[in-house]
Structure 1
Amino acid sequence: MKNLEEIVFSIIIHGGNARAKAYEALKAAEEGDFKTAEKLILEADEEIGNAHRIQTDIIQKEAGGEKVELSVLFVHAQDHLMTAISEKGLIENMIRLYKRVNELEKWI
């Protein structure tokens, strides 16, 4: 098994990748490329899934009685992941708004 530092950085990397993909999706939607936006959101979901599996593994180990070292880096990784999840949710709503605006502009 990886050491805790490697695990923590894996969560940070996947969370950061998810956040970057979500913002790329937002940019694509802003440009009217909703197909690309949807693809990028799915990629962000995959990154979040990867980070979440790592996080869940740690939680299950602790729940099973294994001592898990708590560090500032681990807390930062958790914060980073939750921020990415939250921002992705907001971005998905913004993409839906861009779609509505796009449809309304077609009517004008």
Structure 2
Amino acid sequence: MDEYQEIIMEIITNSGVAKSKAMEAIRLAQNGQAEQAESCLQEGKDELVKAHKAQTRLIQSEASGTAYEITLLMIHAQDHLMSAITIRDLAEHVVELYNRLNRQ
């Protein structure tokens, strides 16, 4: 596996973990486990930072003149990253709503 594919796999893996952590946070908040939910959201956020850093390495490399072939795997990685970001953003709101309901 070359460096380009390794970076793509990093994006996919970290984004997948981030998405899973966001969904887990919602489940935890639904069960009244606010602190654990917040912890999961933070873990997911940390994974998204890793995925974004990998993506940034590719962007910087391309800006420096290294052209990469746009593969189906790369498109898949970008899709994973964008959906993970969207789900994390939504999960933050859902967790907050569950926390409000559980405090009442």
TM-score (norm 1): 0.91
Q: In 2, Cα distance between the equivalents of 1:4 and 1:61?
A: 10
**Per-residue CA distance 1:23-66 (angstroms, 9 max, x = gap):** 11111100111100011100000100000000001001111111
Alpha-carbon distance between aligned partners in 2 of 1:3 and 1:26, rounded to the nearest angstrom:
35
Q: Secondary structure at the match of 2:67?
A: coil
Q: Identify the residue that residue 52 of structure 1 maps to in structure 2.
A: 52
Tell me if structure 2 keeps the 8 A contact 1:8–1:74.
Answer: yes
Number of matched pairs: 103
Paired amino acid for 2:47? E
**SS at 1:81's partner residue?**
helix
SS of structure 2 residue aligned to 1:16 = helix
- Within a 5 Å distance, the mapping from 1:11-90 to structure 2 comes to 11-90=11-90
Counterpart of 1:70 in structure 2: which amino acid?
I
Contact residue 4 and residue 69 of structure 1 kept, 8 A: no
Larger Rg: 1
Taking every aligned residue pair, what percent have the same amino acid on both sides? 41
Aligned equivalents of 1:99, 1:25: Cα separation in 2: 11
Unmatched tracts of structure 1, length 5 or more: none
* In 1, Cα distance between equivalents of 2:45 and 2:3: 25
Runs of 5+ consecutive residues of structure 2 not aligned to the other structure:
none
Q: Partner residue of 1:99?
A: 99
SS of aligned partner of 1:70: coil
Q: TM-score, normalised by structure 2?
A: 0.94
1:11, 1:81 within 8 Å by CA — same for their partners in 2?
Answer: yes
Alignment partners' CA distance in 1, 2:69 and 2:4: 8
Instruction: Assess if the C-alpha contact under 8 Å between 1:48 and 1:85 holds in 2.
Output: yes
1:94 partner amino acid: V
**Conserved? CA contact 1:8–1:73, under 8 Å:** yes
